[in-house]
Amino acid sequence: MNVGVVGSGYVGLVAGACFADAGNRVICVDADPSKIEMLQRGEIPIYEPGLKEIVERNAEAGRLIFTTDLVAGVKQSRVLFLAVGTPEAADGSADLSAVLEVARQIGKAMDGYRIVVMKSTVPVGTHRKVSEAIAAQTGHPFDYVSNPEFLKEGAAIEDFTRPDRVVIGTTNPTAVAVMKELYAPFMRKSERIFVMDPASAEMTKYAANALLATKISFMNEIAGLCERFGADVDLVRRGVGSDSRLGHAFLFPGVGYGGSCFPKDVSALMKMGEAVGRPVLIVNAVHQVNQRQRKFFAQRVLEHFGEKCPETTLAVWGLAFKARTDDVRESPAIACVRMFLEKGMKVRAYDPEAAETGRAAVGGGITICRDGYEALDGADALVIFTDWPEFRNPDFDTMAQKLRQRLVFDGRNMYDPLQMAQRGFTYYCIGRPSVLPKEL
């Protein structure tokens, strides 16, 4: 099948590469010439495990093409996926200006029937706006499908090729049949396709992300109570997660959620509720807890050093909002590092993939190191923000030698508190009793 993907960012590039890998001819369109030139050279503008290999394989086979020519993309495709950015506007709502402009351009370029599929996360009701924008530019028939993505950064290829579910939002049986044909290669073991109306499909995406964000914020609230009462949130998490109705996923306390989805989608859902006079109180609380969590963690570091903050150097492990990605959008690490810098602290940071994107997000003022141990040189404490696998079992003797003080602030609960105390570290974590070497 001939497939077009408009927008070669995270979602569009993963979708285009995976559809091409299933044997389709895919043309990826993006308005950014530098990005297209990079992709044509075989360079990937984002870090996602396994993506580079799939792009290279299908580009060489001629099944995956990159261009800035939207008209060509429309004319050469039967199905057009829209994976255009919907950034958060100043008031917290989703900015649809780029989506609607692309819709108008598609309408102008159409020369026959097309299926237009919305892959971007868009507010409920967008299906009407996009359909009207296309119809205003063409007399050719088309079908609109809402097909929200459910990709986890760092595991996007697995999520796309072995999805938990595929949501198809359309009332036209013809469009349903085409979409099922496209997704058939990824459904060989079981059928996980849910067909519904476009509005319900749009809401499904927001409801899913808001519920996952709720689990994170709820567990962070419980972690705060555990610290006050001397309980261990890790034991609480295991006890709660063993309930089959709840499960273990997203019950890990930390410095809060970040990334391109949860913060933006939670804010958009809040604005949607306000717009129709039905404020979503739980979602508002989730947002507030998440903002407060990162402040609490940063404040713990700042309070420890007090008046000595301007004389303090911190080693920071991790700038990405999560492991296996270079994405620093809404990363708790970036927010906390900015707070440290405002107090005059020096920061030596290391991240396996997000070093330069992290430096740019902070706005400079930090030293980027080649590895985690270099970041420790001359540092008064280590602060951990991202749960990269290489941080899980470090050389603690080297850590002790390089740090001026054996002091660790762990925002991901990577280590066992008692073992850290036995190694001579003062160890602050999330929702578990902090330990001092003298306690043993």
Per-residue pLDDT tens digits of the chain, which is 440 residues long: 999 999 999 999 999 999 999 999 999 999 999 999 999 999 999 999 999 999 999 999 999 999 999 999 999 999 999 999 998 888 888 999 999 999 999 999 999 999 999 999 999 999 999 999 999 999 999 999 999 999 999 999 999 999 999 999 999 999 999 999 999 999 987 789 999 999 999 999 999 999 999 999 999 999 999 999 999 999 999 999 999 999 999 999 999 999 989 999 999 999 999 999 999 999 999 999 999 999 999 999 999 999 999 999 999 999 999 999 999 999 999 999 999 999 999 999 999 999 999 999 998 899 999 999 999 999 999 999 999 999 999 999 999 999 999 999 999 999 999 999 999 999 999 999 999 886 44
Same domain, 289 and 167: no
- Final residue of a domain: which of 167, 196, 225? 196
Same domain, 176 and 209: no
Nearest Cα to Cα of residue 221 among 206, 242, 239, 237:
237
Same domain, 323 and 411: yes
Nearest Cα to Cα of residue 203 among 114, 127, 287:
127
| DSSP state letter for 88 | B
CATH of the domain at 277: 3.40.50.720
- Final residue of a domain: which of 196, 215, 234? 196
> Which domain covers residue 202, as residue numbers?
197-440
Same domain, 116 and 204: no
Distance CA 398, CA 31 (A): 48
Same domain, 50 and 180: yes
Specify the number of domains making up the chain.
Answer: 2
Asked if 308 and 315 count as a contact pair (C-beta separation under 8 A), the reply is no
Same domain, 172 and 283: no
Same domain, 88 and 236: no
Query: Which secondary structure element, helix H or strand E, spans residue 122, and what is its range?
Result: none
Same domain, 154 and 278: no
Q: What is the pTM of this model?
A: 0.91
Same domain, 204 and 339: yes
Same domain, 364 and 440: yes
Same domain, 19 and 78: yes
Asked if 147 and 167 count as a contact pair (C-beta separation under 8 A), the reply is yes
Same domain, 156 and 75: yes
Q: Which residues are catalytic?
A: 261
